[in-house]
Structure 1
């Protein structure tokens, strides 16, 4: 990918459009955005809690830990959860710390794309945005189709009804997102409350009335359902639940242009969402695991977590837990559409997509990127209709491949930031800075991203890994064949920003 940080001047039209919105309460934030080369087109309605809530809702421990519990307890046994979740939490926090520092320095919509383009050049920005969009569209598809399928099963409907329910769920997400970012922020705040109360309810009930195992059971390493009996590979397979659950915390950064004081609040939104999810998720997994009475039977069931809760607390509680999981999935899908639409909007305003002028349009009344929201909901619907009716395994592989793609889009800007620091091209930090620890944390985060990709590629996940490699090859071919000489990336380059910020605090 091509690099360089040419000193292209800020487009004067950006400042002209920006001045039209200088009357807003967040005018200081608007001026800061203007220095990055963009007009304040979106409206700032989100505070610090909302920044946390949007990422917390996408991580959604109620969704990941309950619906994918069988993916961990089967191959890895209790240790994949008792030991695996804390291990993955530490690695994820390294990525979150490095990401938070970038978000503080460059608080823009489309975050990951913008960081890569500034720090490594337009080619790296284009690749990052493309991989992130592939991941986000597929994740929305997986979340909402999972919600639709579980809802159909709960209501006793046929599998065909899942597709109609999916269309209805995606439509609801599109309508809410298009109507107002204030409504989205309020719903995300409510979602965070639902998640926390749901975890407290389930954990409290299971520990008080359903506990069947002593605490050491949580660290049992001698169990696996793998046909080859490999305990080591089984444990690593079990980590995939934790790794797949810990995605989406970049949403706080994608909504930076709709957050007040984003250089300070966005980093803490990222970090607190990961930290609270780590604690809440571990409590949830611990309470479910210690309530297991028959490990072989639970490990072989596709809905293992719900089976544990029904066995421990009765069918009524199992239905309540499923209701909470369904609500969590709906909120998770809503926030995921919000995040994906902002990436589409930011990438399009820099002319990174076909029909960019159309996709980057902002509704003048609601001040939301209405076309990007439409793409972020129609795309997942088409993906499901094109894969799920023919093969569940193909759709599952695509969802896993997309999740791995998200980790690629996380690691690339962090890697580029570390290289830029080493070369002393990026010297000026934002209000949130790790100081002298920033560079080692960045390298550790990149290393963790590589570990995630390796673990997620181990048997039986060779197909998603191969699909990811193929997707990267296709994107690279498209870039070098059609995009390289047309796409310029952000309007302002890193060298220009460093020259303008020479009076700011530096390491």
Structure 2
């Protein structure tokens, strides 16, 4: 068989020609299959990261019902948002993803703001993931649990992710694949151990309402506790950001977006349900310094409990690795279109390693600085949640508007689409984004609100004074 008869090579050439139609040449290594594309989003969602590091926050706010009722509630609406993102991934398969879609549908200004909100969210989600891992790693290593030691461990974790993404693009792709399998096995091991050796209570206790350690009325505390699920369900746009490295992305990347949320939802609920059902005294759990560690160690005890916690912490490391990959691709794509200061630096590709090296290290450095700025874990995760969902909401709103005025028709769809259900699903998804944006800047998350307001005002000022004069948008 000749080189050009290779089915995979034929698809790669077809994908490169498809990319050329959008004004871009194939620069990144296109070698990801469907599973690899799914794996990067699944690894960033990482139910063994978001659902675990914020377990204490969610439980303290809304008690067991945050698992039994809150997780399914957030899942239903997030799947509608993810379906809209998957549709756009299938229709416009470029690494610029969200901001390319916003530019096509609304113009360069919409695209520019989408890109910046997405980058702010991605910087913050990397910070949340790796800082959360540092908080788990410190007690496992016997290191003093204070802010300075957390920062030191956090810096080391970020450094490992930057180095691997820089020099080992194929290794990172393999690790992302392994990470998806590891997460599934990890959940099964954790759940199996708890079912076999942990205490058991009436499963109806998982749906129990009324418990909160907050100063707010229960209904409000319960809603605030949804941050646990909603932050977990972030980063699935990574499948869209890596479309230029994916073979047949119009189908495989779209499924990567949607299935990463769906499968995370199923395994996440299964895991949280079993964990929460082992809890006897809710007050003791909520009062622990790290409620998740407390629950696992109380349930399994000794070496088994610590071994399980090591398994969870390694999953967090995989999650952070994938997050840096996704963030750097967004920086690369935006800089390729001259959307950032010093864009030539951030859009450069390492000739030796074929990776966006400068973008990788920018994502690492800014993520570190965001953790230093925030001073609190819940602030990091709420900033990332709001910024990312704003960047999801803008192109979804613009597409919905285009569908209403008839400028987006069935011919504009890619092979992955919802057909007649597209508009209702997008409308409900947009309402949900608006709801959580207001929810997560309300008390006690005022610092997040002030931060996002400051970022928005700064971006508007910068765009009006400078960026609109020179930013021309993607090379369509």
Shorter-chain TM-score tier = over 0.9
Equivalent positions of 1:163-242 (< 5 A) are 163-228=151-216, 230-242=217-229
Aligned to 1:3: none
Structure-2 separation of matches of 1:145 and 1:218: 28
Equivalent positions of 1:9-28 (< 5 A) are 26-28=12-14
Aligned to 1:162: 150
User: How far 1:397 sits from its partner (Å)?
Assistant: 2.1
- Higher helix fraction (1 or 2): 2
- Summarize the Cα distance change of 1:379–1:457 in structure 2 as closer, same or farther, 3 Å threshold: closer
Structure-1 separation of matches of 2:139 and 2:65: 31
- Summarize the Cα distance change of 1:363–1:24 in structure 2 as closer, same or farther, 3 Å threshold: farther
The answer to whether the 8 Å contact 1:66/1:306 transfers is no
The answer to whether the 8 Å contact 1:45/1:181 transfers is no
Select which of 398, 408, 415 maps to 1:416.
398
Equivalent positions of 1:386-405 (< 5 A) are 386-387=372-373, 392-393=375-376, 396-405=378-387
Provide Cα deviations, 1:433-472, integer angstroms capped at 9, x if missing partner.
1111111111111111112112223321122122212211
- Please, which moves more after superposition, 433-442 or 123-132? 433-442
Structure 2 runs not aligned, ≥5 long: 1-8
Select which of 287, 292, 314 maps to 1:305.
292
Structure-2 separation of matches of 1:454 and 1:383: 22
Q: Considering only aligned residues, what root-mean-square deviation do their CA atoms show, in Å? A: 1.7
Structure-2 separation of matches of 1:418 and 1:25: 31
Equivalent positions of 1:15-94 (< 5 A) are 26-94=12-80
Aligned to 2:96: 110
1:126 pairs with 2:112 = yes
User: How far 1:143 sits from its partner (Å)?
Assistant: 1.7
Structure-1 separation of matches of 2:314 and 2:64: 27
The answer to whether the 8 Å contact 2:140/2:310 transfers is no
Aligned to 2:424: 440
Aligned to 2:4: none
Aligned to 2:449: 465
Structure-1 separation of matches of 2:36 and 2:212: 40
The answer to whether the 8 Å contact 2:123/2:327 transfers is yes
Structure-2 separation of matches of 1:180 and 1:46: 14
The answer to whether the 8 Å contact 1:306/1:321 transfers is no
The answer to whether the 8 Å contact 1:81/1:238 transfers is no
Select which of 213, 222, 230 maps to 1:243.
230
The answer to whether the 8 Å contact 1:110/1:346 transfers is yes
Aligned to 1:142: 128
User: How far 1:364 sits from its partner (Å)?
Assistant: 2.7
Select which of 349, 374, 377 maps to 2:364.
377
User: How far 1:403 sits from its partner (Å)?
Assistant: 2.2
- Summarize the Cα distance change of 1:466–1:248 in structure 2 as closer, same or farther, 3 Å threshold: same
1:317 pairs with 2:301 = no
Structure 1 consecutive aligned stretches of length 4 or more whose deviation exceeds 6 Å = none
Select which of 243, 264, 270 maps to 1:283.
270
- Count of residues paired in the alignment: 465
Structure-2 separation of matches of 1:68 and 1:163: 18
Structure 1 runs not aligned, ≥5 long: 1-22, 493-507
User: How far 1:25 sits from its partner (Å)?
Assistant: 6.1
Aligned to 1:364: 351
Q: What SS class does the counterpart of residue 62 from structure 1 fall into?
A: coil
User: How far 1:303 sits from its partner (Å)?
Assistant: 1.3
TM-score, scaled to structure 2: 0.94
The answer to whether the 8 Å contact 1:65/1:284 transfers is no
The answer to whether the 8 Å contact 2:127/2:380 transfers is no
Structure-2 separation of matches of 1:166 and 1:238: 25
Structure-1 separation of matches of 2:91 and 2:67: 35
1:455 pairs with 2:439 = yes
The answer to whether the 8 Å contact 2:201/2:277 transfers is yes
- Please, which moves more after superposition, 275-284 or 442-451? 442-451
Structure-1 separation of matches of 2:417 and 2:124: 33
- Please, which moves more after superposition, 257-266 or 169-178? 169-178
Structure-1 separation of matches of 2:373 and 2:22: 40
